[in-house]
Amino acid sequence: MVVALITLELSLPARTLKEKRMLVKSLLSRLRQRHNLSVHEAGHQDFPGRSRLAAAWVGPDPDSAQRVLESVLNLAEQAGAQVLSQELELF
């Protein structure tokens, strides 16, 4: 069994905090539904154009964790976010 911590730094196409909240809320919802991740906004809450997301995932092996990370990146890009950095920690 593998526990993965996924951290993403995102640049968002939002000019206001209200726009950002809508984008982030939608993305978090999709991540929870698609991959059953425990996910939240872990930083940059007061900056409209930036966000840091952290997600925890439990699965059978490291290869599955890598596939989930790739899917998370795809979902973030589909939501209009630009991924500035990513980190995957396995425990």
pLDDT averaged over 10-residue windows placed end to end, the chain, 91 residues: 96 96 96 94 95 96 93 94 96 94
Amino acid 63: pLDDT = 95
Amino acid 88: pLDDT = 94
Supply the CATH classification number for the domain 2-90.
3.30.70.1120
Q: Which amino acid is at 13?
A: P
Amino acid 56: pLDDT = 96
Specify the DSSP element, H or E, that contains 65. Answer: helix 62-78
Amino acid 39: pLDDT = 96
Within 10 Å of residue 12's Cβ, how many Cβ atoms?
A: 21
Amino acid 48: pLDDT = 95
Q: Give pTM, 2 decimals.
A: 0.89
